Amino acid sequence: MENKDLRPELAEAIRETAKQTVIEYEQRQQARREDCRKSDTVTLMENYTILKAYAEGKTPGTPTSWGDAFMDSIVSSKVRTSIMVAAIDQALADTAADFKAAGQGYKWEAYKRRYILGESYDTIADELNCGKNSPARWCKEVMTQVAVHLFGVDGLKRW
C-alpha cells in the first residue's frame, strides 16, 4: 500500500526534474546565442577592412571559366557580404555620431584606430595621450554600441 502512495510523489518529482532540466537547457542555449552576438560583432569588426575590400572588388573569372554553380555561389556570397558591409557602415556612422554628440569623440577615435586602421592599443594610447588600458576600455564601450546598431536589443546581451 505504501508503494502506491509514493508513485504520485515520484511522478511529480520526475515532472519537476524534467521541467527544471528543460528550463536550464533553454537558459544555456540563450546564453550561447548571446555569446555568439558578442563574438559576431567582434569578428565582423576584426575583419571589416577585408570584408569591405571583398565587397567592393571585382568578381574573379566568368561563368564560362568557372562554371555556373560556382559563379552563383560567389555572386551570392558577394551580395550577402555587400549587404553586411553596408549595415556595418551605417552602424559605424550612427555610433560615431552618438559618441561625438555625447562629447566622447576620443572613444570613437580609439575604436576607429583599432578596428578600421588596425593600430595597436599601445600606439593608440601614445597618440591619444592616455593611460595604456583606456583604449581597450573605450573600444569595448564603443563595440557595445556598434552591436546595438547592428543587432538591436540582441546586441545588448552579454556585454
Half-sphere exposure of residue 108: CA atoms within 13 angstroms, side-chain side: 17
- Grid cell at residue 31: 546564453
- What is the predicted pLDDT for the residue at 159? 47
Length of the chain equals 159
pLDDT in tens, 95-105: 999 999 999 99
Alpha-carbon distance of 1 to 10, in angstroms, equals 15
Beta carbons of 159 and 145 less than 8 angstroms apart: no
Beta carbons of 126 and 25 less than 8 angstroms apart: no
- What is the predicted pLDDT for the residue at 1? 46
- What is the pTM assigned to this prediction? 0.64
Q: What is the mean pLDDT of the chain?
A: 82
Helices (H), the chain: 2-46, 48-56, 63-66, 68-101, 105-111, 121-128, 134-151
What residue ranges do the domains of the chain occupy?
Answer: 37-156
pLDDT in tens, 53-80: 888 876 555 555 556 666 777 778 888 8
